[in-house]
Structure 1
Amino acid sequence: MGKVSLPLVQVICAITWCLFAAGPIFGFAALKPILIDQGVYAELCPHANIPTSLGTSTNVQVLKEVETGPCTAQDLKLNFMFTVGAGTTNIIALAVGYVLDVHGPRICGFIGSAFLTLGTLSLALSANIRTFDPYLAGYTLFAIGGPFVFISSFQLANSFPKKSGTILALLTGAFDSSSALFFFYRLFYQNWTPNLTLEKFFTGYLIVPAFILLCQIFIMPKESYKTLGAVEKLEVEGLDMDGNLPAGEDGSRIIPDETERQSLLSNPSSGIRPVLSANSRRKSVWENYVEAKLEKKTRGIFGAMHGRSASEQIKSPWFMLMLMFVVICMLRINYFVATVRSQEEYLLDDAALALKVNAIFDVALPLGGIISIPFIGMVLDHCSTLTALLIVSSISILIGFLGLIPSLVLNLLGIFLLVAYRPFYYTVVSDYCAKVFGFDTFGTVYGLLMCLSGVCNMGQSLLDNLTHTTFQMNPTPVNSILVTLTVIASSVLVYFTYWQSKVREEKMLVLQQASETTGNSPDTNLDQSGQYGSV
């Protein structure tokens, strides 16, 4: 039996902790009934509605969920806990990128483990904490710790360059599946171990941050961190940050045909036109070949803002329009996760049926990320950036319309589409950022995009309040507004991308014709003023 390599062990460890710690806060729909059963925030309700058996850590009576639900104040406070957590996990993305680039993945892992430990202790000792809100604090600390331990794992894609896509897919799948943590907790709590209180569950969970800490000390790589841009470039192009083949590669993965590969190496300028960008760095043969292919496949989108400073990129319509789209989509996703059961209760007018839909959603959410991985890869490998944006926009709009119809079948269809759409949406956004803005500024631009959308996501509490008070638990008005905004944001983004692709294709055609006339290679680099200039 062959010896197991250390890099393989490192990848297995990272996938394991991502399964338990990367994003469990998104399993809120499964955790919420347990929080209600154990009397979390029950003091906000009229005393007549608070069972005397609730609120203790040793004697918890499991209530019939169909018969007993939270009052408005309690429901809003629980949903606010998720809103803050979901917003924080995106806001912290920018800080995670900074720590990774400056201090490396091990420090990032230590920080993540520390936040997870503090969050776990806050929830485990919640019954005895009076000086602050232990539930809100604990959930927020979980939301901070998750991105630190998840994003710092991306560098492991460099361990096996030929399998970098597979490793990133496994890590992403583990992140999506981590929401199942609270689903299994609920399953055991309601069916076999009703005495598995928050105190007992989270005391046992302390083994997870301890495992992460030990892995960082004894197993994980100690060398300097490869930036997020480097990982993204390896995933998109199959090349390192210098545009060269990773160690152990012979170019067969990029150019399978040996004759074409040898022809390229012997005559680097043959049939290759550099990408239209502002990047003044002279590129390698492999880089020119790969990026020319990508520029053609994306219909001119690849390289649109490459070589520009981060500040220029952030001020551009490319960033602003994507930010508008991401904010709306994230609001819709997280609003549904927090309110799925109450929405279904109103639409279906059946509490028992809504409970079943909630249970189906709890199972479907972690499975969605795994099942959709092949579909995501197929779309990104075979479709242009414009087509990918059109698909993700169309699915988003369809999900929105299905959520407006009081039909069990259509609501379930919307849920199944949502759980598959969620990881697809995040992947398309990161792919867009890499191809449009480039890899040198990827960590800053993508981190800021997630951070700003996380800040705007705090507006979810306002939507929740409107639903509970102004609209008397009717989710249709809020969902109608969100769907309308989705149509507007996605239409403008898709049209702008289409328009720019046509403009850039025309420019490349003019340059190619000029080069054929003069017999020289086209000079497609842009200077910082946006005009064409020499290298």
Structure 2
Amino acid sequence: MTDPSKGSLVRRYLTFATGLVECLCFAGVLFGWASLVFVLKEDNYFSSLCFNVTSTNGTVELDCSIQDEQFSLVFTIASFMNNFMSLPIGFLFDFCGTTVARLSGIAVYTMGTLMMAFSSAASVNLVFASLSFIAVGGILFLITNIQIGNLFGAHRSTIVTLYNGAFDSSSAVFFIIKLLHETGISIKASFLFLSACSVLHVLRTFFLLPRKFIPYPLPENFTYGVTCGKSQPEKSEVNVEVSNPKEVVPVNEKSFRQCVLSWFFLFHLIWLSIMQLRHLLFIGTLHPMLIRLTEGDPTLVSQYINAFAITQLCGVLCAPWNGLIIDRVKRKITAQGLTERERQLQAMALSLFITAVQCMLFSLCATIPFLPLQYFTFVLQVLNRSFLYGGATAFIALAFPVSHFGKLYGLILSLSAVFSALQYPCIALVKDVLDGDPLYLNIALTVLCLTAFIHPAYVHIQCRRAVARAAQDLTINN
């Protein structure tokens, strides 16, 4: 690939920067749910589900456990849709290209923010649909932005993980809405502002992104977007992509079916599903857990919710470290005879193992019912979540053909969503059977997290076999 012109280079860096802002400010706002719940409670959403009960000492207390259960249900449905809809989104992206996929996502996202803006305690059921729409639109932003890593070749893994970290950090948007609400700015005004920002998403779609895709490896003279009032000829973009078919579509490339039926895909699905369920249960039950640990002190609850939201901002700082680990380990692999894919997988094995260790530590800390320890739990949560989704995306991009990325990424998120739907029966189990104490559930989840080590172990074994085969081939050739 020749060096890009100055104008092309500026466009690429502008595409990268605006994509980072889009992921940071819009894509993953759903996961700041704990902050938004605090606001919705103050605005009396689902307040009709609270009722007075008489405690054992004869005092009358307000029981809002059913209200908390409804808020947990909202998050469960929205997080399920965030992942499950990734499959049709992946097919839409692969078959229709960037422009069609993004315009669909912008429309869905805007509908969600508008519905949230015009919801109220009287029309509380709008929250279910609005959060789901915001979640689906947000994952479309992420999927269409990940391809920007292809513009920067050697730093591809780092950019992929950086965008996933920005996706995680965008959960702080709901924290900002909470702070604005405390100063007197209504939730309606905040979500109307998010709706108005859709104009920027549309402009970016046409000016800073291709109509179809950004290929990898990047061909010479690749152009995209609108220049001087008219778009670049689509024909040139297609011709450039197929100018060297041996690079773009290798002869021995696996089919989509072969990828899905591989052990790599199965173990990666288990690895992602287990740890994702752990994170979703923690976020979905954070508010009632803090109420229990603080004995209902609203000031303390707000303090810890704010601390949790602030730590989410660090996701964009934590995620690139995963990509840097992958790139650095890959450069240190000196075994001869290995293919580029085998070197990448050898580097991924360490990343997958580190992520599983982080999840175990996070789950252990979340299990211990000691309030001050939750500050450290928040730090581990954002670190592990950043590594989890960045590593999940990077593994699919590195281990499988790039032509199947959208479909495989969508499929694995959709299948993991089916597993993550277990969070609602788990929440019901805590409420109805365990008398609101999640200790035994947390212990069970911590034990379940041990299965996440299967995936890095399998990848490591396959890499050792590849090294042995390469050494044997060199011996035979010599």
- 1:358 corresponds, among 297, 305, 309, to 305
Structure number with the higher helix fraction is 2
CA distance in 2, matches of 1:158, 1:434: 11
Question: TM-score with structure 1 length normalisation?
Answer: 0.72
Residues 467, 475 of structure 1: 8 Å contact kept: yes
In structure 1, C-alpha distance between the alignment counterparts of 2:423 and 2:466, rounded to whole Å: 38
Q: Could you tell me which of 308, 312, 316 is aligned with 1:370?
A: 316
Shift of 1:44: 2.3
Kindly provide the amino acid, as one letter, of the partner of residue 305 in structure 2.
Answer: N
Counterpart for residue 257 of structure 1: none
The structural deviation recorded for 1:90 is: 1.3
Question: What amino acid is aligned across from residue 121 of structure 1 in structure 2?
Answer: L
- After superposition, the Cα gap between the structure-2 partners of 1:173 and 1:490, relative to the gap in structure 1 and judged at 3 Å, is closer
Q: Aligned equivalents of 2:39 and 2:291: distance in 1?
A: 18
Choose the corresponding residue for 2:355, options 392, 396, 420: 392
The question of 1:205 aligning with 2:194 is answered yes
Distance 1:406 1:27, change over 3 A: same
Contact in 2 for aligned 1:161/1:246 (Cα 8 Å): no
In the TM superposition, what is the alpha-carbon distance from 1:80 to its structure 2 partner? 1.0
Q: Deviations along 1:41-63, whole A, 9 cap, x unmatched?
A: 122233x69xxxxxxxxxxxxxx
Aligned partners of 2:121 and 2:62: how far apart in 1?
Answer: 25
Instruction: Label 1:380 to 1:20 Cα distance change in 2 as closer, same or farther (>3 A).
Output: same
Q: Confirm or deny that 1:310 pairs with 2:285.
A: no
Q: Tell whether 2:175 aligns with 1:183.
A: yes
| Structure 1 residues 389 and 171: CA distance shift in structure 2, 3 A | closer
Q: Return closer, same or farther for 1:287/1:84 CA change in 2, 3 Å cut-off.
A: closer
Letter in structure 2 aligned against 1:503: R
Unpaired runs of 5+ in structure 1? 50-66, 249-280, 289-305, 517-535
Moved more, 491-500 or 323-332: 491-500
Q: In the alignment, residue 153 of structure 1 is paired with which amino acid?
A: N
Residues 237-276 of structure 1 mapped to structure 2, 5 A cutoff = 239-240=217-218
- CA offsets 1:113-158 (integer angstroms, 9 cap, x no match): 111121122112223985x921101001101111122221233334
Task: Give 2:379's aligned amino acid.
Answer: F
- Extract unaligned runs of 5+ from structure 2: 1-5, 54-59, 223-243, 330-346
Q: Do the aligned partners of residues 97 and 129 (structure 1) sit closer, same or farther apart at CA in structure 2, a change above 3 Å counting?
A: farther
**Equivalent residue in structure 2 for 1:74, among 67, 75, 87:** 67
Question: Helix, strand or coil: the match of 1:440?
Answer: helix
Q: Give distance in 1, aligned partners of 2:16 and 2:33.
A: 27
3-state DSSP of counterpart to 2:85: helix
- Return the offset for 1:166: 6.0
Report the alpha carbon displacement of residue 30 of structure 1 after superposing the two structures with TM: 0.7
Identity of aligned residues (%): 23
CA distance 1:330–1:162, change in 2 (3 Å):
closer
Structure 2 counterpart of 1:36: 41
Q: What code does the residue aligned with 1:42 have? A: S
Q: 2-side partners of 1:356 and 1:69: how far apart?
A: 22
Structure-to-structure mapping, 1:194-343, within 5 angstroms: 196-217=185-206, 219-226=207-214, 230=215, 234=216, 239-240=217-218, 307-343=253-289
Show the counterpart of 1:275.
none
SS in 2 for 1:206: helix
Note the C-alpha offset of 1:490.
1.9
Q: Does the Cα contact within 8 Å between 1:341 and 1:355 map onto a contact in 2? A: no
SS of structure 2 residue aligned to 1:307 = coil
**Residue 142 in structure 1 maps to residue 134 in structure 2:** yes
Matched AA of 1:80: L
| Per-residue deviation, residues 469-511 of structure 1 (Å, max 9, x unmatched) | 2111212111111111111x12332333333333333222222
Rounded Cα–Cα distance in structure 2 between residues aligned with 1:397 and 1:337: 16
Corresponding residue of 2:463 = 501
TM-score by length of 2: 0.80
Comparing 204-213 with 444-453, greater Cα deviation is found at 204-213
Say which SS state the counterpart of residue 225 (structure 1) adopts: coil
Residue 379 (structure 1) aligned with residue 318 (structure 2): no
Residue 94 of structure 1 corresponds to: 87
The structure-2 alpha-carbon separation of the partners of 1:182 and 1:202, relative to structure 1 and needing over 3 Å to count, comes to: same
Counterpart CA distance in 2 for 1:317 and 1:159 is 30
Question: Over aligned residues, Cα RMSD in angstroms?
Answer: 3.1
* Equivalence map 1:103-114=2 (5 Å): 103-114=96-107
Q: Could you tell me which residue of structure 2 aligns to residue 512 of structure 1? A: 474
- SS of 1:371's equivalent in the other structure is helix
Aligned length: 426
Which residue of the partner structure matches residue 108 of structure 2? Answer: 115
CA distance in 2, matches of 1:87, 1:141: 11
Going from structure 1 to structure 2, the CA distance change for 1:386 and 1:154 (only over 3 Å counts) comes to closer
Asked if structure 1 preserves the Cα contact closer than 8 Å seen for 2:89 and 2:101, the reply is yes
Residue matched to 1:83: 76
1:437 and 1:161 map into 2 onto residues whose CA distance is 17
Give the 3 Å change call, closer, same or farther, for CA 283–114 of structure 1 in structure 2. Answer: closer
Q: How does 1:448-467 map to 2 (within 5 A)?
A: 448-467=411-430
Give me the whole-angstrom Cα distance separating, in 2, the residues matched to 1:156 and 1:497: 27
Distance 1:443 1:515, change over 3 A: farther
Which residue type is aligned with residue 128 of structure 2?
L
Q: Which residue of the partner structure matches residue 490 of structure 1?
A: 452
Question: Using the alignment, how far apart are the partners of 2:152 and 2:456 within structure 1?
Answer: 35
Q: Secondary structure at the match of 1:403?
A: helix
Contact 1:17 1:208 in 2 (8 A): no
Q: Deviations over 1:333-368 (max 9, x none)?
A: 01111212322443565745444222210110122x
Superimposed CA distance per residue, residues 403-442 of structure 1 (whole angstroms, 9 cap, x where no aligned partner) = 2223344332222011011111112222322333333333
Residue pair 2:45, 2:120 contacting (<8 A) in 1 also: no
Tell me: CA distance 1:211–1:319, structure 2 relative to 1, closer, same or farther (3 Å): same
From 469, 478, 482, the equivalent of 2:441 is: 478
Offset at residue 283 of structure 1 (A): 6.3
